């Protein structure tokens, strides 16, 4: 088999993995960066545990999920940041026009959708309007460049060091990369820098998780910090 044929076969196999709605739902849920049990994913998707287990086996076998066992529990997570980036990009392409989902059928669903659109984690970095606001503020302040792809400037590297989150190249993951936001249809900061900023924001209490495991809210302390560091008005963070 030629290299082209192998790529074609692999692409078709990948598409088949995500063609099932239950498996797609699993992957979207796992964008929160946590490890989930098979039972948790089954309840989330509304399927029987045996059905969930079969789908998980396919996703693990296809390289989209990684698993580990602790006692009788089986935990799975997205295999790596590249898989998370792929899922988020596909979600952006699949979202309705203008990047906004169709009106949710219930008040609870509308509230959850609104929280995710305001601010959320995309695997290990900030997304939603919060992620976009931070990304654009960093660009405006000369910490990040987007003209030829995403790249931190020297000032940006110093900014992270001063923040107490120094960056160093690690493996194949870039320092900075753009991740297309599926609700905003604009790129937010991902890569090592995006992960470091998100981790610092949660550890420093700038953001807290709410409701959905992926939704985050900026705290009053976070509003003050982001106003001081990036000039972001509090109103844009709410």
CATH 3.40.50.720 fits 3-79, yes or no: no
Backbone angles phi, psi at 219, to 5 degrees: -85, 165
Dump the DSSP string for 132-173.
HHHHHHHHHTTSEE-BTB-EE-HHHHHHHHHHT-----BTTB
Domain boundaries, the chain: 3-79, 101-237
List, in order, residues 6 or more apart from 227 with CB less than 8 Å away.
Answer: 233, 234
Q: Is the pLDDT of residue 215 over 60?
A: yes
Pick the more confident residue, 210 or 224: 224
Q: What is the pLDDT of residue 93?
A: 78
Q: Is the pLDDT of residue 108 over 70?
A: no
The model's pTM: 0.71
């Amino acid at each position: 088999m030629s290299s082209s044929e192998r790529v074609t076969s692999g692409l078709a196999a990948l598409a088949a993995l995500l063609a099932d709605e239950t498996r797609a739902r699993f992957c979207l849920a796992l964008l929160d960066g946590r490890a989930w049990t098979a039972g948790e994913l089954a309840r989330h998707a509304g399927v029987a545990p045996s059905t969930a287990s079969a789908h998980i086996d396919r996703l693990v076998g296809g390289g989209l999920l990684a698993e580990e066992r602790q006692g009788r529990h089986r935990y799975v997570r997205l295999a790596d940041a590249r898989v998370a980036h792929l899922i988020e990009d596909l979600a952006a392409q699949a979202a309705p026009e203008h990047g906004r989902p169709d009106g949710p059928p219930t008040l609870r669903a509308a509230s959850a959708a609104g929280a995710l659109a305001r601010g959320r984690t995309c695997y290990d970095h900030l997304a939603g309007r919060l992620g976009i606001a931070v990304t654009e503020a960093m660009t405006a302040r000369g910490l990040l460049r987007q003209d030829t792809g995403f790249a931190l400037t020297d000032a940006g590297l110093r900014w992270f060091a001063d923040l107490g989150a120094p960056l160093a190249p690690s493996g194949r993951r870039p320092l900075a990369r753009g991740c297309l936001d599926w609700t905003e249809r604009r790129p937010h900061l991902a890569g090592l820098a995006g992960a470091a900023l998100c981790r610092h924001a949660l550890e420093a209490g700038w953001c807290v998780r709410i409701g959905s495991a992926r939704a985050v809210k900026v705290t009053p302390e976070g509003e003050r910090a982001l106003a001081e560091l990036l000039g972001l008005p509090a109103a844009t963070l709410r």
